[in-house]
Structure 1
Amino acid sequence: MTDTPKPITESELRSWLMDPDVPDEQIAPYLMTATREGRGFEPVVVPNPALVTPSAEEAAVLMSSVNRIARWRRRQAYKKKIRTWTGPKLVSEGDSWFQYPILLKDVIDQLDHGYAIRSLGAAGDLISDMVAQDELIATIAAERPDAVLLSGGGNDLLGEGRLARALHPFDPDREVADYMTPAFETMLNEVIGLYRDILRRVVRTFPGLPVFLHGYDHAIPERGK
């Protein structure tokens, strides 16, 4: 039987978040996703009001920065690990599949036991963000990894109302293959073009470096049509 976590203040929660030695598992019960969405599918993580006593001066800071702090915590963990690490090393760039703040074990969390992973991922990121930020090449040059992991595209295709533009409304007489609008193919080609841009840069600068792409299977509706 698991003990119920004891209530804490927002100041205490913030001090835990800013201490990389406090494990995510200890912090996770004190956080929750907000009902409103962030940009696209970026999760908005906030203090759990059932366990965290609010304080006006801390609330706004926590609501705006948990995602950023989660990335910082992962960076600190990598810096600590790499000091004595002799195993394979990876650099990852991606969206929430690779960087979901604290509440879920994302792909990078699952791989962390066997690899040292310098993560550039950010929840909600678009492939276009990754191209614009242009962190990947410099990080590969600095870290000299054994391979690169890349994930993205879901937010580009589905976030911020894009799914509605990609599909025709439900019609019982419409064939499944006829639901996609021309807008979907346009967006898909844009994403593929951005992937090619990233991969060309990696291959040109680091010939022979393996790049593993994390992709999507066919979408299965949860409920209804």
Structure 2
Amino acid sequence: MNNSHKISPQELRRRLINPKIKEKDLQEFLIIDPSSTNSFEPIIRVNPSTVNTTEMSNGGVLNGINRIAKERRQLQYRLTVNNPLFRGQKIVSEGDSWFQFPILLFDVIDQLFSPFDISPDYAIFSLGEAGDLLSNIINEDEITQAIEVENPEVFLISGSGNDLVFDGNLANFIHPFEDGRPPENYLNNEFYRFKDMIRQLYRGLYIRLLSRFPDLKIIGHGYDYVIPDNGVSLGRPMKKKGIEDPELQKAIMRVIIDHLNESQLELVNNVEMGGRAFHVDCRGEVGDNNWFDELHPNNAGFARVSYLFTEKIKEATGRS
């Protein structure tokens, strides 16, 4: 495509910030930087085949895509709840790229919130950003104000995956390869300290929100069995520890995912949660063939996960 048939960067930004343009109509203008595949914080570039990048000095990297995607969703939320025909449930969400993968994947929140329907089942005020650490999510605490203002029935949260793999962090949690060592024996003491830290972060957040908002229901989730694929987040950190067999890598990740899910299940089932905190267990739902990369389901995989959220929202609120 020659430049005369490409849109300008200015026109792309105009379309990106327009909440009335569907994300599927924006996807042809964006691509993922190959260097950031298999990362919880993907780098989004403009597509030089459809956008005239000659005016861009940053190599086509779309700065602020997290902010733009977040603003789009919040504008779509506002248009939805202000529509007199809306009879659905109000929800606030916060989290990582399973809840906010900008534009190019239809993540969990995209699957749940259909702002172009006449009267969608849910209106979701999204605070999520790809790459967010759970510790940052809780320390920055946009959550309390959003719940106070929007008065949702449900708060959804997705976190801890980036904490696990950020900057090759996974290698710090596993022992080096040893012939004959079973997968469950690869986790070291650093991992168990990490698991306890994540549990305490969630516990502190849940107790604080439940005590302040007595009618609120909280729904968190665990990740499905991710599949290492020589990526920067899983495969390569394992190789650094001498763990090169793909099946062993996969088995170790299953053990890690089991630990994190079981820890969350124990937390929400604790009496101190008062039956108002819930866990979506995604294990086995995506399967082996519905992954976009090492860390994210593809659209079909996210659709399967979002169904679990729909059922859990019904369970939590008693509404069909």
TM beyond 0.5: yes
Over the residues paired in the alignment, what is the CA RMSD in angstroms?
2.0
Of 162, 166, 173 in structure 2, the residue corresponding to residue 159 of structure 1 is 166
Q: Is the 8 A contact 1:70 1:102 kept in 2?
A: yes
Matched, 1:179 2:152: no
Query: Cα offset for 1:22?
Result: 1.8
Matched, 1:86 2:93: no
The residue type paired with residue 81 of structure 1 is T
Q: In 1, distance between residues paired with 2:133 and 2:97?
A: 10
Any idea what the Cα deviations from partners look like across 1:18-72, whole Å, max 9, x if unmatched?
222221111111101112339x621111101222211335757862112211111
Q: In 1, distance between residues paired with 2:172 and 2:218?
A: 31
Q: How does 1:113-192 map to 2 (within 5 A)?
A: 113=114, 114-192=121-199
The residue type paired with residue 168 of structure 1 is H
The residue type paired with residue 185 of structure 2 is D
Query: Cα offset for 1:194?
Result: 0.6
Secondary structure at the aligned position of 1:158 is classed as helix
Q: In 2, distance between residues paired with 1:208 and 1:18?
A: 34
Q: Is the 8 A contact 1:166 1:183 kept in 2?
A: yes
TM-score (norm 1): 0.89
TM-score (norm 2): 0.64
**Counterpart residue number, 1:3:** none
**Counterpart residue number, 2:36:** 37
Q: In 1, distance between residues paired with 2:161 and 2:71?
A: 24
Q: In 1, distance between residues paired with 2:162 and 2:223?
A: 12
Gaps of 5+ in 1: 1-5
The residue type paired with residue 24 of structure 1 is E
Matched, 1:112 2:113: yes
Q: Is the 8 A contact 2:40 2:96 kept in 1?
A: no
Q: In 2, distance between residues paired with 1:153 and 1:25?
A: 28
Gaps of 5+ in 2: 115-120, 231-245, 250-320
Q: Is the 8 A contact 1:33 1:45 kept in 2?
A: yes
**Counterpart residue number, 2:266:** none
Structure 1's 147 and 140: CA in aligned 2 closer, same or farther, altered over 3 A? same
Secondary structure at the aligned position of 1:188 is classed as helix
Q: In 1, distance between residues paired with 2:28 and 2:191?
A: 38
Matched, 1:199 2:217: no
- How many residues are matched? 219
Any idea what the Cα deviations from partners look like across 1:174-210, whole Å, max 9, x if unmatched?
1111111111111111111110111011111012411
Q: Is the 8 A contact 2:53 2:60 kept in 1?
A: no
Off by >6 Å, runs of 4+ in structure 1: none
The residue type paired with residue 103 of structure 2 is I
Matched, 1:96 2:103: no
Query: Cα offset for 1:8?
Result: 2.2
Query: Cα offset for 1:112?
Result: 0.7
